[in-house]
Amino acid sequence: MGRYVATRLLLALPTLLLILGVVFAVVHAVPPVPSVEIDSNVDLRSVTRQFRREFGLDLPVFVNTRPWTDVDDVLALLDANDEDAMLELRRFAVVPLLALSEPGQERSIEAWTWLGRCVPEDVDPREPETDRARKRERNSAWAIVTSRSAAERVGAAREFVAARLDHYAPQGLDTVRVMFGETQFATYLGRVLRLDFGVSVHDRKPVFDTLVGRLKYSIGISFGAILLAYVFAIPLGVLSALWRGTRKDAVLSAALFSLYSLPSFFVATILLRVFTVGEPFSWFPPGGFHSARGFDAMTPWERVLDVAQHLALPIVCLAYPSLAYLSRYVRSSMLDALGSDWVRTARAKGLSQRAVVVGHALRNALLPLVTLVGNVLPAVFGGALVIEVVFDIPGVGSGLYQAIVQRDPNLILCGTLLLSVLTLAGYLVSDVLYSFVDPRIRFGERSPRVGTERVR
């Protein structure tokens, strides 16, 4: 069993990596920009440069081809006078610029000026202090060099660079390291492995803390919804199985089927309209997790009531699709059980109808239901996004929605990762539970998975 779980966990890693990679690509397909008030008289250019540097956006996303920068590339940038692009080349611009600075070259003065700017730019504010000190030293050496005659200073610069050629023009394996290592994705992965998910581009707060802070609200409504779904789904499913073929069963089945096809954002909108704004009813507050004012002054009991009142509608909206799905599942597995040979055996023993239904059929039909938690959990968490937005609940879902609308890459990535981990954990829990409840399943064999895509 431990081995099985370990294998599954190991297999989850490449899955997560791939998900992260794709979402990373999508998030960085359009580079995020700093949020600046439109009429504020800041220099947008320098703010942007600062911002890109701060969030590491000046690195290539997946593949770094800068070690192959040659004189022509640099010339093209000089022609275009693209300051940002040149500075972002950093140390890889040095060797071509040096070649262009040789006395006698057509644009040597211009190239030399650029060289002077590119090398100090090589100091990365995110690097450790010792590295910085080392680089400061290098830069002061450079400054001395700049004070001599053109031929001398280029010669000195050439020596300087030649002494550190592996840094300015990496060769062999180093190229590969730079190619894949000095990228945004690699940097990000490195940080994620250290459980550092970065900060939001808007409030500069660690996104992980933000999301974890929101998690309690999401867990609150999600678990409420799952509980509600199970509590109602089981009796409904069992009853409609026992009523099989009657009009009652037909009505119940049709109702559950419609419920299953009813989009939850529609239901949420209607409930909000009908029950919160006083036309015609004003039974529930229109949103939030608890009352904005006066909550702190309440007694614990009043607080519970207050939260319950706020959460009733969102939980119902979140629960009913799972309820419909689960009860249909209960019905069909109950029918399977009731038609089985061993239920006939139980009848032949002289057990009462009740004992047969409860002790044999229900027991068999419900055990796999436990495992469906693994399927319902990710679905509910996914569905919570829309519901949280509609009901204005400060959970993970609405946080993620805001992040997406505001283009906050770290928050989006962390949120996606969180949801994916939850999904995978849900599957794993479901498979492990399955082997617990069904003595026939042994680890290593795949359990019959009831697809998940369709629970909304």
Check residue 291 for interaction with another protein (CB under 8 A).
no
Among the listed residues 123, 189, 242, 404, the single contact to another protein using CB under 8 A? 404
Among the listed residues 136, 205, 363, 444, the single contact to another protein using CB under 8 A? 363
Helix axes 247-261, 300-338, angle to 10 degrees: 120
Check residue 251 for interaction with another protein (CB under 8 A).
no
Check residue 216 for interaction with another protein (CB under 8 A).
no
**CA 90 to CA 88: how far, in whole Å?**
5
**CA 241 to CA 239: how far, in whole Å?**
5
Identify the residue whose tokens are 């399943």.
Answer: 441
User: Minimal distance in Å, beta carbon 342 to another protein?
Assistant: 4
Check residue 393 for interaction with another protein (CB under 8 A).
no
Check residue 72 for interaction with another protein (CB under 8 A).
no
Check residue 26 for interaction with another protein (CB under 8 A).
yes
User: Minimal distance in Å, beta carbon 344 to another protein?
Assistant: 6
Among the listed residues 42, 250, 270, 305, the single contact to another protein using CB under 8 A? 270
Residue 199: left (phi > 0), alpha (psi -120 to 50), or beta?
beta
User: Minimal distance in Å, beta carbon 429 to another protein?
Assistant: 14
Check residue 401 for interaction with another protein (CB under 8 A).
yes
Closest CA to 366 of 441, 431, 437: 437
Beta bridge partners of 199: 206
Closest CA to 224 of 286, 288, 309: 309
Among the listed residues 99, 150, 242, 346, the single contact to another protein using CB under 8 A? 346
Subset of 298-337 contacting another protein (CB under 8 A): 325, 328
User: Minimal distance in Å, beta carbon 364 to another protein?
Assistant: 5
By CB under 8 A, the count of residues binding another protein is 77
Check residue 345 for interaction with another protein (CB under 8 A).
yes
183 vs 416, which CB is nearer to another protein? 416
Count of residues in the chain: 456
Check residue 14 for interaction with another protein (CB under 8 A).
yes
Complete DSSP assignment for 131-184: HHHHHHHHHHHHHHHHTS-HHHHHHHHHHHHHHTHHHHS--THHHHHHHHHSSH
Strand, helix or coil for residue 442: coil
Whether the link from the prior residue into 280 is cis, omega within 30° of 0, is: yes
Check residue 214 for interaction with another protein (CB under 8 A).
no
